[in-house]
Amino acid sequence: MLQLTEDSLTMTRKNREKGLKRSMADGVTQPGTSATSSEILRFAQDDMMEDSVTQPVTEATSSEILRFAQDDKRFAQDDTMADGVSQPGTGATEAVDETTNRVDEEDTAKTPQQAATSADGSTTPSTVIWTPRFMVIFALTLAMGLSAESVLTQGWTSHYYAGQWVLMGHVAAIFACFIAIMIVTRSWWLRVGTIFGCTWAIFTGINLVVSFYQLDPGSPIPAYLNAIISCALLGAYICLSTERTPFTAWDSWFFRFALIIGAGGVLLSYFIKPPVERSVSIIESAAAAIAVVFCVFVWWLRPSCWKAQPGPTFLFGVMPAFILLLSLPSLGRGATNLYLSQVALLAVILGSMRILQSELKRR
């Protein structure tokens, strides 16, 4: 009903305006029929009344204008935020900003950056490549070990202590590494290999202690100890080199030839002696020498070992190679013998550290 009333008033107003314009036009064309000022004023009042009916509120105070302006500003801000949510490329919400900042902080913590000055004077961020912790420990152990061995050799030359105690310290460190590998590893090959390694360390320590005493030159004890030490080392090397190394056709033929050549070499060294000089000590000594040779061959003559684990292959092969070199009369004397023996044991320590780090990484 209200709508009909407003429409009727609107039509009435339009008709009056048309009549006024027609009257004014007639007044222009017909001067004698022009509208008076009182009629024009009455028509204007009628129009204002009609506007007040159709638009009840046509005026606003200054406070209302200010409030309307504030509302318009707030609505504009809401529209901007809504546009930022609907268009991720033009803006970002607070949640997105927090997530982005957190990811940036994590990336910064993982890969710190520092400013690098270019030729034109501008600073550009450069990525810092951090060295792995094990590489630092390995390098420090190698550098400090070689330096300490030189100092220890000088101390032995000055007769401050016996050289056996220095070697026993190295053997104790190797024994500790083998125990750590045995505890950490889940591989049976490594566990058996570390058992052989611990056996080698124990009998090596016994051999060093026995060396403090003057034994009969014909005593078989040194030959037995050397045979046990060499065979235990060979067993440890076979197990350690087999773990996680692909077993190729060459490896199969290598172990077959090693068994045949080893047994043949021991028998040959026994029967080559005159019947009067034949004894069990000859067999023990020959077995020890052949076992040391095959300790080198197990690592260095197998390409699969160089491909799968080149670091331990080189380090573990150093010790038996040095033992063979020290068997030469020109090298196995004095301070050179002690220093190279320490270097050989240090190589085993470093190889054991590498295997231990590999097992810790696989856990």
Say what the pLDDT of residue 336 is: 86
CA proximity to 205, closest of 181, 229, 176, 178 = 229
Query: How far apart, in whole angstroms, are the C-alpha atoms of residue 117 and residue 272?
Result: 76
Mean local confidence (pLDDT), 25-33? 44
Residue 75 confidence class, pLDDT cut points 50, 70, 90: low
- The answer to pTM > 0.85 is no
Residue 216 has pLDDT above 50, yes or no: yes
Model confidence band, residue 2 (pLDDT cutoffs 50, 70, 90): very low
**What's the rounded Cα separation, in Å, for the pair 151 and 156?**
9
Nearest to 295 by CA among 248, 244, 242, 236: 236
pLDDT at 21 over 60: no
Backbone angles phi, psi at 331, to 5 degrees: -110, -30
* pLDDT tens digits, 261-313: 998 988 888 888 888 778 888 888 889 999 999 999 999 999 999 999 999 99
- pLDDT for res 340: 92
* Residue 67 neighbours by CB distance under 10 Å: 12
Average pLDDT along the chain: 77
Both tokens assigned to 351: 């190889």
Q: Is the pLDDT of residue 105 over 70?
A: no
**pLDDT confidence of residue 181:** 94
% residues pLDDT > 70 (the chain): 64
pLDDT one-digit tens code per residue, 200-213: 999 999 999 998 88
pLDDT of residue 56: 43
DSSP 218-264: T-SHHHHHHHHHHHHHHHHHHHHHHTT----HHHHHHHHHHHHHHHH
Q: What is the pLDDT of residue 277?
A: 79
Write down the residue that tokens 């080392």 correspond to: 233
Fill in the amino acid letter for 136: V
Q: Please write the tens of the pLDDT for every residue from 218-270.
A: 788 888 899 999 999 999 999 999 988 888 999 999 999 999 999 898 888 88
**Angle of helix 188-210 relative to helix 221-242, nearest 10 degrees?**
160
